[in-house]
Copies of this chain bind each other. A is one copy, B any other.
Amino acid sequence: MNVPQQIAQALQRKLQDGHYRAGENLPGQRELAEAMGVSRASLREAISMLEALGLVKSQPGKGVLVTTGQVRQHKDIPAGPFAASPQATFEFRMVLEPAAAALAARHITPEGKALLWQIQSTLEDALKNQDLVAAAEADLAFHLQVARLSGNALFHQVARSLSAPIGHSLRLPFADHLHIWETAHEHQVVTDAITQGKPEEARLGMLNHLRNAAARVGLQMDSL
């Protein structure tokens, strides 16, 4: 293999390892070339390739900027004053979670079923004991688990980063003693659909659950 290609691969590996991180600069070309035991011309060819692929960006007089290399670690979405509105949160969840539920139903495993059932029983126990904090936790765990069972890391990742605002919007509905069992029933519908491998039912069940959950905190969500 050509020297520039080898260098390009080596650099990609370092980008992947996090050895060089997005936003940082690579070492100077002269220094880097010497460190890797190649001429600057070859190093430059390697950098040109990486630039054509959009991994780095060369800036005259400044350096070679690492533009990417991995999914940016997005900070958790804040639940404080700058939080997204409950409206926006539900709007977003009503897009994401029904799809995740449908995906989960497509390739559910025995292990996945067990996890869902376990969460469901935890939720029901909490409700029986009037333990609203534990119930809210189980509710959140359910949504995270569905995202995880989608089999797509991105759903899980985004759901995790949303857990703060989700948790916030979860606590309120449980305050209403009249409806605390509705959540469990709706979860049950989704869990059944997923464990029985019925994507469309899972999608609709989750959509319905989110719509109702929004209603329980006083939000009327338009159909999307």
What is the CA–CA distance of A37 and B224 in the complex, to the nearest angstrom?
A: 49
Bitwise, A141-172 to B at CB < 8 A (1) or not (0) is 00000000000111101101111110110010
- The answer to whether A164 and B74 have CB atoms under 8 Å apart is no
> How many of these chains are in the complex?
2
Contact (A72, B163) CB under 8 Å given A77-B157, A152-B88: yes
Asked whether any CB of chain B lies closer than 8 Å to the CB of A84, the reply is yes
What is the CA–CA distance of A161 and B78 in the complex, to the nearest angstrom?
A: 15
What is the CA–CA distance of A69 and B163 in the complex, to the nearest angstrom?
A: 11
Asked whether any CB of chain B lies closer than 8 Å to the CB of A133, the reply is yes
Tell me which of A48-56, A114-122, A211-219 binds B. Answer: A48-56
**Chain B residues with CB under 8 A of A49:** 48-49, 51-52, 77
- The answer to whether B164 and A69 have CB atoms under 8 Å apart is yes
Bitwise, A1-21 to B at CB < 8 A (1) or not (0) is 110110011001001100000
Contact (A224, B157) CB under 8 Å given A16-B82, A83-B70: no
Contact (A167, B91) CB under 8 Å given A74-B161, A82-B69, A224-B99: no
Residue from B71, B77, B91, B160 in contact with A164 in the complex, judged by beta carbons closer than 8 Å? B71
The 5 tightest CB contacts between A and B, nearest first, are A74-B161, A49-B52, A68-B164, A71-B83, A95-B99
